[in-house]
């Protein structure tokens, strides 16, 4: 259990440390070290959970179960690999004169701040603290979106701040209603703790909980990037520094979805109707379908992949909404593979746009000729995210389709159509960027593609065979969420 | 529900709810920024009084801390910061011509009715007084959003944002006698950080577009112009 405190204290130390020493030359490497130690702490925590299944800290402040433990490890892992990428990237941006010492301090300090908020969302047992941490994640990243201080980035950050702030306020209203429902019952101690609420879910008033869930879904849904609350997402992803896009896409969206699913579990326990699931299915499918069409219209490479994130988050929300054991298993797997693949893609995209000196897709050409590793990285990453076998995204999307056919067969054509359109949208942009003629004078840059390769190798591995302990976690989490074992 | 038969505390909460709702409407129709900020501070005072009243009648000490936090943050710090920005930008004499003022006020009224409609199932488990209090808080949240939609000045957006926070706070106090202390401190911390960040943003927006008119933040869009 001590591991939890380490997981939270290390990034906290990071915030303070980098706030004073964030501008030194080797800060990037120190940031990697902080994240590496944190990854070790999360692995320690994971080993504990393997032994004991569910851990509730003394005082019940933290709850670690199979559902959040793999997300915690994933968060630490993506945080580490992104920091490996960010060290030379930010140094390069500083050489280009885009950043000053103070902004580097801010960047590294808030990188750790964001990680802290993410760990807190995942580990806390208190629904109120979860909200506070989620808002904290916005506050930590909002100044990073405007890090370059261009008019566009300031506009993107303002939009991000206002939309997410107002959106997440709805989730707080939902949390208050949830607390109100629990206080109503009476005789429940600490009635904002998830574990307590979950035990007493059948006593809570289902109607109040359903109203609360609507607010939660809108609130946290803004952060997931569900249509029609998604407008901030492409702007924030495209205007901020690329390592930020990688962690926003890979971690923040996942954690917001995690919060929604935690709440859904409470509502399901109370109401036994499928209102919550249907709401999630509706919003998820809408996001999925709207995003795949928007893929075709993009001109900026980071906007392209942020719409792809909306598409995938929509699919996961949809799958959790179906609520059968198979679809829940698929959604859990999809969370993992999407976050690994998408952060790998953003890392490659960051390098690609540094090679070309622009993010505009019409000007990025001939990557494979200039620097084969970046070209191949982008190509393989896109193949993986589009859902080609043998990558993990294929497996999870296939399972989602199977589950849909099983429960709602008439929705399958829509999903298939969407996947097809997304594929076309991604590849029509990708083809010329990777294979096109190399513009004159385009030179390779110093790039560290190890994070990308490791991520893609993991996604490949998950596509071919899911390791036993992970499958075990997924199954246990599935039982926890949907009530029955998958497959 | 006969108001005369309720105890003093309930009556006071009901009138507080009414006053908080009223201040939201006053903000909605306000075109002058300084007056907008003043009404916002007034709403903060009402919240402080409500919190202190609840703390007194329940003999709940941690609510006194919340009351002090509200007083410092929402009555003093945030209004002071916004006022300073407005004076710095020299926009305190501008009167924002609100488009469709009548429609916005009618929209506000219908949002209030909508809040009652949404929360009506609550009546089954508790008193109509609770329905009133919760519905007013929800409508303060929604009116805050409407305020943000109908005003163009970034300062007005911040006021809207913070009044949404006020509505949530009121709900937490009245419905559940305050959230647990950790959560309240967390929320207060978030509000404080948000207020500071808004201050930083005003500076950046001013230096980038030389105005705080958010209609001019229009570079990012899906469709090419």
Span A337-348, pLDDT tens digits: 999 999 999 999
User: Has residue B220 been placed in a domain?
Assistant: no
Nearest Cα residue to B33 out of B209, B141, B154: B154
Q: What pLDDT does residue B35 have?
A: 92
Contacts of A205 in chain B (CB under 8 A): 124-125
Helix (H), strand (E), coil (C) string for chain A: CHHHHHHHHHHHHHHHHHHHHCCCCCHHHHHHHHHHHHHHHHHHHHHHHHHHCCEECHHHCEEECHHHHHHHHHHHHHHHHHHHHHHHHHHHHHHCCCCCHHHHHHHHHHHHHHHHHHHHHHHECEHHHHHHHHHHHHHHHHHHHCCCCCHHHHHHHHHHHHHHHHHHHHHHHHHHHHHHHHHHHCCCCCCCEHHHHHHCHHHCCHHHHHHHHHHHHHHHHHHHCCCCCCCHHHHHHHHCCHHHHHHHHHHHHHHHHHHHHHHHHHHHHHHCCCHHHHHHHHHHHHHHHHHHHHHCCCCEHHHHHHHHHHHHHHHHHHHHHHCCHHHHHHHHHHHHHHHHHHHHHHHHHHHHHHHHCCCECCCCCCHHHHCHHHHHHHHHHHHHHCCCCCCHHHHHHHHHHHHHHHHCHHHHHHHHHHHHHHHHHHHHHHHHHHHCCCCCCCCCCCCCCHHHHHHHHHHHHHHHCCCHHHHHHHHHHHHHHHCCCCC
Cβ atoms of residues B86 and B92 within 8 Å: yes
**ipTM of the complex, rounded to two decimals:** 0.93
What number is the average pLDDT over the span A200-210?
Answer: 89
Q: Is A33 on the interface with B (CB under 8 A)?
A: no
Q: How close, in Å, is residue A226 to chain B by CA atoms? A: 17
Q: How far is residue B136's CA from residue B128's CA, in Å, rounded to a whole number?
A: 12
The number of folded domains in chain B is: 1
Task: For CA atoms A145, A377, A254, A111, give the dihedral sign.
Answer: negative
Which residue of chain A has the CA closest to B157?
Answer: A162
Q: What's the mean pLDDT in B149-168?
A: 91
Query: Under an 8 A CB cutoff, do B190 and A162 touch?
Result: no
CB contact under 8 A, A211 and B217: no
Residue B44 belongs to some domain of the structure: yes
What average pLDDT does range A225-245 have in this prediction? 90
Q: Cis peptide leading into A390, omega within 30 of 0?
A: yes
Residue B205 lies in a domain: yes
The whole domain housing B76 covers 10-214
**Cβ distance of A166 and B190 shorter than 8 Å:** no
- Report the alpha-carbon distance of residue A221 to residue A284 in Å, rounded: 10
Mention every residue, 6+ apart, whose C-beta is less than 8 A from residue A129: A120, B182, B183, B186
**Is the pLDDT assigned to residue B225 strictly greater than 50?**
no
Average the pLDDT over A176-185 and give the result.
Answer: 88
Measured between CB atoms, does A190 come within 8 Å of chain B?
A: yes
Phi, psi of A64 (to 5 degrees): -120, 120
The yes-or-no verdict on residue B91 having pLDDT over 90 is: no
Residue B161 lies in a domain: yes
pLDDT of residue B224: 54
Q: B175 vs chain A: nearest CA distance in angstroms?
A: 6
- Identify all chain A residues contacting B118, using CB atoms and an 8 Å cutoff: 211
Give the pLDDT score at B124: 74
Chain B residues near residue A211 by CB distance under 8 angstroms = 118-119, 121-122
Q: How many CA atoms lie within 13 A of B59 on its CB side?
A: 0
Across residues A349-359, what is the average pLDDT? Answer: 89
Q: What value does the mean pLDDT take over residues A189-217? A: 89
pLDDT tens by residue, A438-474? 888 888 888 788 889 999 999 999 999 998 888 888 9
Q: What's the pLDDT at A109? A: 92
How far apart CA B140 and CA B22 sit, in angstroms, is: 9
Residue of A374 and B91 predicted with greater confidence: A374
pLDDT > 90 fraction of chain B, expressed in percent and rounded: 44
Question: Closest to A139 (Cβ–Cβ): which among B148, B161, B190?
Answer: B190
Confirm whether B17 is domain-assigned: yes
With a cut of 80, say whether residue B218 has pLDDT above it. Answer: no
pLDDT digits (tens, 9 = 90+) for A112-136: 999 999 999 999 999 999 999 999 9
pLDDT digits (tens, 9 = 90+) for A379-425: 999 999 999 988 999 999 999 999 999 999 999 999 999 999 999 99
For residue A235, the chain B residue with the least C-alpha distance is B220
pLDDT at res. B223: 57
Cβ–Cβ gap A128/B119 under 8 Å: no
Contacts of A161 in chain B (CB under 8 A): 197-198, 201
In a domain, B224, yes or no: no
**Which of the pair, A405 or A483, is modelled with greater confidence?**
A405
pLDDT band at residue A366 using 50, 70 and 90 as cut-offs: confident
Q: Which comes out higher in pLDDT, residue B146 or A21?
A: B146
| In a domain? residue B2 | no
Q: Within a domain: residue B219?
A: no
Residues of B numbered 63-92 whose beta carbons fall under 8 angstroms of chain A's beta carbons: which are they?
none
């Amino acid at each position: 259990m001590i591991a939890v405190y380490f997981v939270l204290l290390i990034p906290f130390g990071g915030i303070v440390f980098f706030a004073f020493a964030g501008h030194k030359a080797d800060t990037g490497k120190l940031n990697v070290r902080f994240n590496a130690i944190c990854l070790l702490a999360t692995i320690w925590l994971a080993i504990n959970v393997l032994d004991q299944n569910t851990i509730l800290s003394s005082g019940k402040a933290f709850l670690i179960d199979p559902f959040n433990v793999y997300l915690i490890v994933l968060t630490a892992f993506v945080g580490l690999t992104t920091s490996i990428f960010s060290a030379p990237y930010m140094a390069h941006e500083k050489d280009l004169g885009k950043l000053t010492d103070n902004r580097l301090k801010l960047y590294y300090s808030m990188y750790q701040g964001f990680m802290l908020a993410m760990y807190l969302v995942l580990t806390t047992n208190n629904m109120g603290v979860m909200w506070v941490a989620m808002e904290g994640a916005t506050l930590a990243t909002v100044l990073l979106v405007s890090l370059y201080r261009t008019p566009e980035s300031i506009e993107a950050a303002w939009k991000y701040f206002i939309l997410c702030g107002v959106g997440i306020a709805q989730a707080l209203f939902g949390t208050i209603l949830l607390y109100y429902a629990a206080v109503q019952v009476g005789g429940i101690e600490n009635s904002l703790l998830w574990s307590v609420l979950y035990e007493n879910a059948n006593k809570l008033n289902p109607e109040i909980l359903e109203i609360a869930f609507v607010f939660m879904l809108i609130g946290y849904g803004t952060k997931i990037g569900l249509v029609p609350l998604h407008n901030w997402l492409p702007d924030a992803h495209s205007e901020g520094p690329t390592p930020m896009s990688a962690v926003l896409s890979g971690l923040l969206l996942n954690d917001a979805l995690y919060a929604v699913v935690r709440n859904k579990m409470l509502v399901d326990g109370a109401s036994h109707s499928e209102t919550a699931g249907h709401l999630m299915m509706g919003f998820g499918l809408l996001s999925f379908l709207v995003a795949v069409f928007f893929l075709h219209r993009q001109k900026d490479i980071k906007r392209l992949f942020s719409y792809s994130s909306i598409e995938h988050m929509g699919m996961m929300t949809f799958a959790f909404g179906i609520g059968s054991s198979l679809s829940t298993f698929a959604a859990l797997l999809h969370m993992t593979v999407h976050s690994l693949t998408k952060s790998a893609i953003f890392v490659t995209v960051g390098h690609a746009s540094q090679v070309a000196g622009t993010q505009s897709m019409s000007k990025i050409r001939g990557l494979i000729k200039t620097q084969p590793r970046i070209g191949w990285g982008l190509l393989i990453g896109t193949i993986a995210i589009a859902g080609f076998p043998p990558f993990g995204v294929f497996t999870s999307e296939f399972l989602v389709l199977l589950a849909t056919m099983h429960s709602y067969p008439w929705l399958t054509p829509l999903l298939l159509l969407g996947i097809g359109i997304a594929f076309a949208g991604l590849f029509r942009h990708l083809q010329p960027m990777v294979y096109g003629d190399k513009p004159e004078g385009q030179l390779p840059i110093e790039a560290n593609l190890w994070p990308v390769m490791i991520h893609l190798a993991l996604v490949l591995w998950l596509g071919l065979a899911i390791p036993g302990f992970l499958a075990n976690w997924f199954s246990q989490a599935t039982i926890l969420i949907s009530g029955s074992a998958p497959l | 529900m006969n108001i005369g038969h309720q105890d003093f505390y309930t009556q006071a909460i009901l009138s507080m709810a009414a006053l908080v709702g009223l201040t939201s409407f006053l903000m909605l129709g306000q075109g002058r920024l300084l007056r907008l900020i003043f009404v916002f501070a007034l709403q903060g005072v009402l919240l402080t009084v409500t919190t202190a009243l609840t703390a007194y009648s329940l003999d709940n000490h941690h609510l006194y801390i919340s009351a002090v936090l509200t007083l410092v943050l929402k009555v003093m710090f945030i209004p002071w910061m916004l006022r300073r920005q407005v004076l710095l930008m020299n926009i305190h004499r501008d009167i924002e011509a609100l488009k469709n003022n009548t429609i916005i006020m009618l929209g506000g009224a219908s949002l209030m009715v909508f809040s009652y409609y949404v929360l009506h199932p609550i009546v089954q488990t508790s008193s109509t007084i609770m329905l009133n209090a919760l519905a007013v808080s929800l409508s303060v949240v929604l009116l805050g959003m409407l305020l943000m939609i109908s005003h163009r000045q970034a300062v007005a957006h911040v006021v809207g944002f913070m009044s949404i926070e006020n509505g949530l706070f009121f709900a937490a106090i009245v419905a559940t006698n305050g959230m647990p202390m950790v959560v309240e401190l967390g929320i207060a911390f978030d509000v404080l950080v948000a207020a500071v960040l808004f201050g930083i943003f005003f500076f950046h927006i001013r230096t980038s577009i030389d105005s705080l008119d958010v209609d001019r933040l229009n570079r990012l869009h899906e469709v090419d112009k």
